[in-house]
């Protein structure tokens, strides 16, 4: 999605990230020799990682709202506390980390789910109040480790799901 130069009315879009095939509670990504225990993943809201799921969960799901703005040129931009990046390069972070005995989360890697990879018609449909924008992905990479970096189709499938 390109940045919107001037805006018309803002809309709210419900986003749901559906994750499956989580990699487990232990990992040693990238051959660095680092070993992580009690691995969890969550969605990043501003600087805080929230709604943590255990790395060995069967599945995980996060739901939140984003604001969309349609420019005079028809381009859609998104914003809100779960959205990161600059106009035209907006994304959501899924952040991986460990949870210690006191419950503190310490991040070690994260995945970027870019809105530019979403079909603009799906965003427009969801922003018109006709559904939820859904991203579905496996959270295990090709090496059996927690998925990180930019996640692009076909590794993530985006769609607008109707409300009714």
pLDDT tens across 31-50, in order?
678 899 999 999 999 999 99
- In tens, the pLDDT along 110-143 reads 999 999 999 878 877 777 777 899 999 999 999 9
Is the pLDDT score of 4 beyond 50?
no
Is the pLDDT score of 146 beyond 70?
yes
pTM to 2 decimal places: 0.89
CA atoms within 13 A on the CB side of 101: 0
Question: Residue 77's beta-bridge partner residues?
Answer: 69
Using CA atoms, how far apart are residues 88 and 71, in angstroms rounded to an integer? Answer: 12
Token pair belonging to 85:
């990046």
């Amino acid at each position: 999605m390109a940045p919107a130069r001037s805006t018309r009315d803002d809309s709210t879009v419900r986003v749901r990230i559906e994750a499956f095939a989580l990699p487990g509670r232990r990992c040693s990504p990238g051959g660095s020799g680092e070993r992580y225990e009690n691995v969890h993943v969550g969605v990043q809201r501003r600087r805080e990682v929230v709604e943590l799921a255990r790395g060995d969960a069967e599945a995980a799901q996060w739901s939140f709202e984003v604001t969309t703005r349609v420019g005079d040129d028809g381009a859609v931009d998104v914003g809100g506390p779960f959205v990161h990046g600059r106009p035209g390069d907006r994304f959501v972070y899924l952040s991986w980390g460990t949870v210690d005995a006191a419950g503190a989360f310490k991040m070690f890697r994260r995945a970027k789910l870019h809105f530019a990879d979403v079909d603009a018609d799906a965003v427009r449909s969801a922003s018109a109040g006709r559904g939820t924008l859904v991203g579905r992905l496996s959270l295990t990479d090709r090496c059996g480790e927690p998925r990180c970096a930019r996640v692009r189709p076909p590794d993530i499938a985006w769609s607008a799901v109707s409300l009714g």
